Amino acid sequence: MEVVTMDCKKFVEEQISQIKQTVGDATAINALSGGVDSSLVTVLGHRALAEQLKTVFVDNALMRQGEPQRVVNTFADMGIPVELVDAREEFLSALAGLTDPEEKRQAVTNTFYEKVFGRLVRESGAKFLLHGTILTDIEETIAGIKRQHNILAQLGIDPEEAYGYSVLEPLKTLRKDGVREVCEFLELPAEISQRIPFPGPALATRIVGEVTRQRLDTVRAATEIVEEELKDSGAFQYMAVLLNDRATGIRDNKREFGQIIVVRCIESTDARTATATELPWDKLQRICERIINEIEDVNRCLYDLTPKPPATVEYI
């Protein structure tokens, strides 16, 4: 225990001094998603640079209920100002009409990097970007599992042309468990260090078919119920998914053709493989009842028993 604490202390001190030294009197910018990696970068960056670092949180319309404001408030409570940028329209219009999973993912990525964050970086005049790349991201990039993580290229910035732009990746020697350990060492709130995994393209990965405002409202409401009911389950990850299909039902003696929500809850250590959690039957029944009664137009709720592989965790 002693050793771990010492390592974390050394890591934090070294990174803070490295960031300070590199940035000097200049200014830096970073995007906070609320995930554990970008949260830790934000905390380290602010300890090193204080008001020389501008942190933005981009509301992409795909977040969970109240999430943008909740993340901003969590950081405000730690004395770290975060600018909330409303880019909902840009993301929704980029997603309009798309049903192919890869096209949807690409639209979210491009809108973030090329349009919204790219613009914020240029407008800020910052010459340094702080990014939450971790060792696993680099390994997966090299192995060809992930698209390249060269953030400058993703932002459409040519490092040679835009001489002076630099990216700092203070977490690049850590894996996810190391990131969590440093968060705990820094006594960051559990909602940061213990946050369950949530994908970058957010609720877009939990809507099969087109992402619209209305369909987002449906999956957001179901997500709220599932997260509330399973927060003490100890499971690795849990979610609600909206299918792109309808099923016949009957309510108040009237036939209806309603929407279908899938509940997924998994056991895993690294999300590379996963099995469905054996949830108690009464818990499943309660979730089902709440979903079909509290969400308009949903008349079926299914529990996904599929392991990964062959299924992935997310639905797109």
Q: Given the rule CB under 6 A, which residues bind ligand XMP?
A: 197, 199-201, 205, 237, 271, 308, 312-314
| Interacting residues of 232 by C-beta distance below 8 A, sequence separation 6+ | none
Q: How far apart are CA 157 and CA 78, in angstroms?
A: 32
Shortest distance in whole angstroms from residue 289 CB to ligand XMP: 26
Token pair 């509290």 is found at: 294
CA angle 208, 311, 269 (to 5 degrees): 115
Shortest distance in whole angstroms from residue 49 CB to ligand XMP: 25
Nearer CB in complex with ligand XMP: 170/201: 201
**Which segments of 172-298 does DSSP mark as H helices, in order?**
176-185, 190-193, 213-230, 281-294
Nearer CB in complex with ligand XMP: 135/271: 271
Shortest distance in whole angstroms from residue 182 CB to ligand XMP: 19
Q: In this structure, what are the phi and psi dihedrals at residue 96, rounded to the nearest 5 degrees? A: -60, 130
- Among candidates 38, 85, 31, 37, which has minimal Cα distance to 55? 31
Asked whether 267 and 307 are in contact (CB, 8 A), the reply is: no
Shortest distance in whole angstroms from residue 315 CB to ligand XMP: 8
Shortest distance in whole angstroms from residue 35 CB to ligand XMP: 7
Shortest distance in whole angstroms from residue 201 CB to ligand XMP: 5
Q: How far apart are CA 31 and CA 45, in angstroms?
A: 11
Nearer CB in complex with ligand XMP: 138/271: 271
What is the CB neighbour count within 10 angstroms for residue 28? 23
Nearer CB in complex with ligand XMP: 166/275: 275
Nearer CB in complex with ligand XMP: 201/258: 201
Nearer CB in complex with ligand XMP: 34/170: 34
Q: In this structure, what are the phi and psi dihedrals at residue 166, rounded to the nearest 5 degrees? A: -135, 150
